[in-house]
Amino acid sequence: MFEFIATYAPQLIVAGIKYTVPLALISFVFAVIIAALVAVLRSYVPHATGIKSIGWRILKFILWFYVWLFRSTPMLVQLFVVFYGLPKLGISWLSPSGWAAAVWVLSLNTAAYASEAIRAAITSIPDTQREAGAALGMTDAQIFIRIILPQAARISIPTLANSFISLVKDTSLASVVTIVEMFYLSQQLAATNFEPLQMYLLVAAIYAIFVSILSIPQHYIQRWADRFVKVQG
């Protein structure tokens, strides 16, 4: 048992550090940026008229469609479409490598869920906050950026942390686009040592350890974000 772990764990951990962790971190950074943009644009109520208002409607429809599409199809299918399907249309610049395809899909998929969480947080800030800002002469943009978003960000943290945990585990799907991350490697090793149970239990344990370590910052971020609210209990 100990020998088994000593033999295989280091290889798996290296694969995790080389692929799983960077895939998750890079995709999460993109996901949060995309999610915040989508959430902000979708919760913005424009006062525009005429051609501008039509432009807003089209933009909002596109954003709704994006969120709907990525939330209602399996990520595995999305990976196949982007990596194997789109190049057939001549769109290979979008996913020149398995890496690019994985980052695209992981980011866009995570962002679709996260944008809903951020949007809900934005809508949960009472309108009285907006009025208080308006009464002080602040512009809509100032109110949004300086009053609404900081408060909404705090509320979104637990849901975003959940998205991040899912994302770390979802990187295992990148195995289907030729990335030899931890899970793919464990499959290859199991095929040679004929110990699938021990092998997959080992890789599961290593995923759990990675997720736990990567989740540590959440505690500190939450504590910092909660500085302005009464801590319950």
Residue ranges in contact with another protein by CB under 8 A:
128-129, 131-139, 142, 146-147, 150-151, 154, 227-230
CB of 165 or CB of 225, closer to another protein: 225
Got the DSSP string for 175-220? GGGT---HHHHHHHHHHHH--HHHHHHHHHHHHHHHHHHHHHHHHH
What is the nearest approach in angstroms of another protein to the Cβ of residue 145? 10
What is the nearest approach in angstroms of another protein to the Cβ of residue 223? 14
CB of 5 or CB of 125, closer to another protein: 125
What is the nearest approach in angstroms of another protein to the Cβ of residue 111? 24
Q: What single DSSP character describes residue 85?
A: I
Burial of residue 198 (number of CB atoms within 10 Å: 0-12, 13-18, 19+): middle
CB of 40 or CB of 206, closer to another protein: 40
CB of 156 or CB of 172, closer to another protein: 156
What is the nearest approach in angstroms of another protein to the Cβ of residue 225? 9
Nearest to 38 by CA among 119, 109, 105: 119
Nearest to 160 by CA among 108, 116, 209, 96: 116
